[in-house]
Structure formats: structure tokens, C-alpha cells
Amino acid sequence: SKFGTWVFRILRNRCLDYLKERRRQDLPLDDHRAFPAVEAGPESELERRSLRDALERALAKLPDAQREAFLLKHVQELSYEEMAEVVDASVSALRM
């Protein structure tokens, strides 16, 4: 909804301001929902940590705008139309 994306955009801007004040720290991706379910054995836990670490390193290499678009799409599960409203960009620019 328009109201939801408006609120999300305000929240996004407040978060960006907060991070700028703190000189932006990289936060780990501890949310297990971002990774496929695996068995709880030690090998699978090690593999899961390795995947998470690789993803964090890859995300850290992206420019801020691309990282934000990735997280909005794949973590927040927003549609391209919702993302476009949040970041004030065109849908076609986000699909690239």
C-alpha cells in the first residue's frame, strides 16, 4: 500500500541518518530466514556459517545502493514497485 511504503521510506531514511552518525558499521546477517533450512548437525552448521560469511563479504563489496536494493528484494521481500517507491528509483533501474 502507498501508506506502508511511505512509512517504510521514513524508517529507511531515519536508519540511514542513524548509521551515518555512527559512521556506518557492518552488521552480521544473523537472520536464519535468509538461508535454506538444513539439518542441525555440526557439518551443516559449519556450512551455514560459511555461506553466511560469504554472503556478508559479498554484500560488503557492493555499493550502498545495490546492497540496499538486494536487501529490500531478498530479505524484506518487497516487490520492485514497492522498492521503487522506497528508494525513489525506477522499476527498470532496480531490475538491472
**Residue tagged 511504503 (cell numbers):** 5
**Residue tagged 528508494 (cell numbers):** 87
Any idea where the domains of the chain sit in the sequence?
2-95
pLDDT at position 23: 47
- Whole-model pTM: value is 0.55
pLDDT digits (tens, 9 = 90+) for 51-76: 888 888 888 888 888 888 888 888 88
SS3 (DSSP) at 12? helix
SS3 (DSSP) at 39? coil
pLDDT digits (tens, 9 = 90+) for 39-51: 567 777 788 888 8
pLDDT digits (tens, 9 = 90+) for 17-39: 665 665 444 555 555 555 555 55
